[in-house]
Amino acid sequence: MTRTPETDKANVIAFYEMMFNDCRPADAIAIYAGAEYIQHNPHVGDGKDAFIAYFEKMAKDYPCKRVDIKRAFADEQHVILHCHQIWPAGLEYAGIDIFRLDHDGKIIEHWDVLQILPDHSANDNGMF
């Protein structure tokens, strides 16, 4: 199968939907991750097992959480997602997730940046 920016985006989106919204991190890792998985989020341990443990606990603790992917961008070995995270008790975040893929299109590295959605804004443009 030939890798394209569109297939890379589709695979990363499927990974994110499966692990976050469907609460199936082990399946997501098994299907979409490469031989290694490097994590840069300071709340999540490095490697596949740490990723699975963290997101299985999150699924148990926050079963109603949800992410809506607003935009996806692909550039060579990277896919970037612009996301709206919705958590219980009304907590919401704007997030950017960056994934690095190997030559086979498998996810091998992740970074993220989250910002709590503010109650007020100095402009009317919104976060998304």
Which CATH number do you get for residue 31?
3.10.450.50
The 10 Å Cβ neighbour count of residue 99 is: 24
The 10 Å Cβ neighbour count of residue 94 is: 18
Q: Which residue has the tokens 């809506």?
A: 68
The 10 Å Cβ neighbour count of residue 64 is: 8
Structural domain boundaries enclosing 59? 5-116
Is 98 a domain residue?
yes
Is 126 a domain residue?
no
The model's pTM is 0.94
The pLDDT, as a whole number, for residue 1 is: 64
Is 127 a domain residue?
no
Q: Which residue has the tokens 């919705």?
A: 86
SS3 38: strand
Domain count, the chain: 1
Length of the chain in terms of residues written: 128
State how far the Cα of 21 lies from the Cα of 30, in Å rounded to an integer.
16
Is 124 a domain residue?
no
State how far the Cα of 91 lies from the Cα of 80, in Å rounded to an integer.
23
When the pLDDT of each residue in the chain is averaged and rounded to a whole number, the result is 96
pLDDT single digits (tens) 13-56: 999 999 999 999 999 999 999 999 999 999 999 999 999 999 99
**Residue 94 in this model has a pLDDT that exceeds 90:** yes
Is 86 a domain residue?
yes
Task: Check: CB of residue 90 under 8 Å from CB of residue 65.
Answer: no
**Residue 61 in this model has a pLDDT that exceeds 90:** yes
